[in-house]
Amino acid sequence: MDFAFNEDQELLRQTTRRFLENRQSLQSVRQVLESDDVFDRSVWRSGAELGWTAMLIPEDYDGGSVTDQPLVDLAVLAQELGRVLYPGPFIPTNVVADALAASGSEAQRKDLLPLIAAGESVAAWCTTGDGSPYVRSVAVDATAVPDGYRLDGVARYVHGAGSADVLLVAAKSEEGLVHLLVPGHSVGVDVRRLVGLDLSRRLGEVRFEAVPVAASSVVGTAGAEGEAILARGLRLASVLQAAEAVGAAEYLFQATVQYAKDRVQFGRPIGSFQALKHRFADMHISMEAMRVAAQYAALAVADGQPDAEEAVAVAGSYVKEAFSAMCGEALQLHGGIGFTWEHDVHVFLRRAKTDQVLYGDPAWHRERLCQLIEAATAVENAK
Amino acid sequence: MNVTVPPIPAEYDAYRERLRQFIATHKPSLDWKPRTGLRVPETAADVEALKRWVGALYDAGYVLQRFSEQPLDEFEQRILTEELARTGIPYVLGNPLVGGALVAYGTAEQKATYLPPMARGEHIWSQLFSEPNAGSDLTGLQTRGRLDGDDYLIDGQKVWTTWASWSDFGYLLARTEPVAGAAGITAFVLPMNLPGIDVRPLREMTGTTDFNEVFFDGVRVPASNVIGKPGEGWKVAAASLVTERGGVGAAGSGDSVNGLVRLAREHQRDGRPRIDDSSVRQDIGAYAARSRIQKYLSYQVATKAANGTIGAADAPLTKVWYSELNLEMAEYGLSLQGARAALAEGDPEAYQDGLWQDMFLYARAWTIAGGSNEIMRNLIAERGLGLPREPRGS
């Protein structure tokens, strides 16, 4: 039994934390909250040297991981990036890299993976028209034309759409769901920056109008494999999102505990009141529950455990809600100061609430969990 | 990072088969009905049958690791606990937590006298800690031990003692030193047949009798029965209490989730199986997530235990998580039954003969026993997070 990050992973954590303190602290993220673009490419390129985009890419394409559980390594990075509410397209770029590594053609891998690994190319993932994880909500049509497809339609809530060099687009074709690579600045691709609740990330609406895509840009095949790519991406995104949430929640929780020790009212630190202590105890319980849920999901997916689907659904439902609740408690326990623009807590709350509805909301993950348990108990009954 | 349990090699099939045959031959049939929780037989005949059963297991070499000072074969232990759990009847009788105290603080003679018969099921033990006026605040216990020559004279009262009416020995905490609080407490081995001990079974809200009150009136116990030194009782007890809290969380809740799915399949509302109701599916998904997290928490605790990094908040956390989830799932199990939830054990129409109704009632024990969840939250906040301690009354 070894349910803990190993020494190399802890070293990776320290290196990443130091790097972020210098180059992309929470304070620096706050300074750009109200600008059009929050994404700093020079930070991204340096981050790539620390492995931000390389873990899921095979060594042949300039990738590489710290341990033989690349997704667990990546979860360490995600926790640290979550801690500072990192704005860049960490999740979508890794999802696209992973999709190419798993299903891309040799040419696609050779063209793109080394650029992604080096931080030269950033990616966005266009899934559905309403941001939900359902195949039927895909709102881009891929119409077959000689030697390829023509894309028409829209994908919404696309993280990093405005800065992406390459888009992985889910589209409906006659053969079923298909994923295609589209250069970010193609003619016919129009990105509108959405005014978001989450100030630390930029989401976009991506419209496709008669965008020609060569057959060589199809990732995998249309149909069952197209749906598998979507499912795989959602699984990965959920794992990384949960790990980010753990990092963010942990930072905020520690800050709130410290505040309760420092803030004096009625002649006592407010953390000495039992009504508040019990709330802190509950926050601690929920923090640890989030931590193990996110950690187990990363491990189960990394190792392809039989309960990997289940673990992702646990993380996707529990962690998302607990992160949001943690931010709400942190705000309440800070009192009036927490309600100011100046204080950090609302930036976390905005992130948590936005995370909740992307890559499958908690209700979607709970339904998945119920289905998986039904299937397992049906098998048991049949025995 | 790795939580996979190595599969049991095929060469152990013979061991399992032998054990299964042994169980089939020796497993006693009891009057006792299996229920959830730590339940105690209600008849002397059941107790005698269980003692013979545990003794036969031990004599045949089926010994649990907790009763052996030698490290035993890991795969055999896994098979043993799996197969014994499947029998649905107890294979550890009484409260064996004194074992840890004796190993850590007992004399060589005490260990030799008490440990082997406990392992064989010959001696049933109970834990004499809680008192009517010392529940959450156990250091305030009032049972007295007064030194009189080479003996102590014990006077006072204990409560919430499982197995007391069937036990041969008690693991007793009493105040022997003229100081308040923890420093005045001493741990004893108390033979339960001594004159002056009165055990009164306590019927609980479940309708069953799983606990007792125990009264002491001038009970004379030799000073050589002290575990550790006089005044060290709190230290002796601390280790076993931690074990107990961890133990509460070790019980699985995965079975209960499957039970909820089964309930939702077998009950209807307005002509539709409840499992087809999306709000029910959401609820089951939420309980399943919390149940799985309990399992993941146990991985974390096991890892910390192996690395020696268990913190003050870990056992309380597990205890709160399990006990509250268990209670909520039991309540939810009733709600899925509709009006049928109004039936209890004994009515022919009661679902699974009232198993869920009993679970619902008994679940209240876990949120209180082993340190109430309010005390657990204080421990988490104060010892885990370092928030200021509660002011103490004089």
Domains of chain B as residue ranges with CATH: 10-92 (no CATH), 125-230 (2.40.110.10), 251-384 (1.20.140.10)
The closest CB to that of A4, out of B288, B303, B386, belongs to B303
Distance CA B94, CA B86 (A): 19
SS3 state at A332: helix
Q: Is residue B354 within 8 Å of residue B330, measured between CB atoms? A: no
pLDDT of residue B250: 46
Q: How confident is the model at residue A380 (pLDDT cuts 50, 70, 90)?
A: low
Q: Is residue A359 within 8 Å of residue A309, measured between CB atoms? A: no
Distance CA B236, CA B100 (A): 9
The closest CB to that of A285, out of B1, B257, B321, belongs to B321
Distance CA A41, CA A27 (A): 18
pLDDT of residue B182: 92
Q: What beta strand segments (E) does A286-338 contain?
A: none
Domains of chain A, start order: 7-121 (1.10.540.10), 124-220 (2.40.110.10), 226-382 (1.20.140.10)
What tokens appear for A106 in the block?
Answer: 């040799």
pLDDT of residue B249: 43
A169-199: b or e for each residue (b if 16 or more CB lie within 10 Å)?
Answer: bbbbbeeebbbbbbebeeeebebeeeeeebb
DSSP letter (8 states) at residue B84? H
Cβ of B307: how many Cβ atoms within 10 Å? 10
pTM: predicted TM-score of the whole model, two decimal places: 0.94
Burial of residue B195 (CB within 10 Å: 0-12, 13-18, 19+) is exposed
The closest CB to that of B293, out of A318, A374, A377, belongs to A318
Distance (Å) of CA B32 to CA B186, B208, B340: 36, 11, 25
What tokens appear for B162 in the block?
Answer: 């499982």
Measured between beta carbons, the chain A residues lying within 8 angstroms of B284 are 369-370, 373
- Percent pLDDT > 70 in chain A is 99
**Residue carrying structure tokens 């690994």:** A117
pLDDT of residue B17: 97
Tell whether the model's pLDDT for residue A343 goes beyond 50. Answer: yes
Q: What beta strand segments (E) does chain B contain?
A: 125-128, 144-148, 151-162, 169-175, 185-191, 197-202, 211-222, 226-227, 268-269, 272-273
> Is residue B244 among the annotated active site residues?
yes
CB contact under 8 A, B289 and A277: no
Measured between beta carbons, the chain B residues lying within 8 angstroms of A296 are 3, 292, 296, 299
* The total number of residues written for chain A in this structure: 383
Measured between beta carbons, the chain B residues lying within 8 angstroms of A282 are 377
Above 0.90 for ipTM, yes or no?
Answer: yes
SS3 state at B168: coil
Cβ of B179: how many Cβ atoms within 10 Å? 11
Give the closest residue to A234 by CA, choosing from A324, A155, A190, A170.
A170
Q: Is residue A170 within 8 Å of residue A226, measured between CB atoms? A: yes
Q: How confident is the model at residue A381 (pLDDT cuts 50, 70, 90)?
A: low
CB contact under 8 A, A3 and B4: no
Dihedrals phi, psi of B227, to nearest 5 degrees:
-95, 125
CB contact under 8 A, B285 and A271: no
What is the torsional sign of CA A81, A84, A86, A92?
positive
Q: Among A250-254, A362-366, B3-7, which is the least confidently predicted range?
A: B3-7
Name residues whose C-beta falls within 8 Å of residue B186's C-beta, 6 or more positions apart in sequence.
B145, B152, B173, B174, B175, B176, B177, B226, B229, B230, B231, B232, B233
Burial of residue A262 (CB within 10 Å: 0-12, 13-18, 19+) is exposed
Give the closest residue to A176 by CA, choosing from A125, A216, A224.
A224
User: Which B-chain residues 248-307 have CB contacts (< 8 A) with chain A?
Assistant: 257-258, 261-262, 275, 278, 281-282, 284-286, 288-290, 292-293, 296-297, 299-300, 302-303, 306-307
pLDDT of residue B246: 47
SS3 state at B346: coil
Q: Which residues of chain B have pLDDT under 50?
A: 246-251
**Residue carrying structure tokens 């409840």:** B274
**Residue carrying structure tokens 């049928």:** B340
Choose from A288, A291, A307, A372 for mutation: most chain B CBs within 10 A. A288
End-to-end CA distance of chain B: 49
pLDDT of residue A29: 93
- B179 close contact with A: CB closer than 8 A: no
CA A219 to chain centroid, in Å, comes to: 21
Tell whether the model's pLDDT for residue A383 goes beyond 60. Answer: no
The mean pLDDT value for A69-79 works out to: 98
Distance CA A73, CA B102 (A): 44
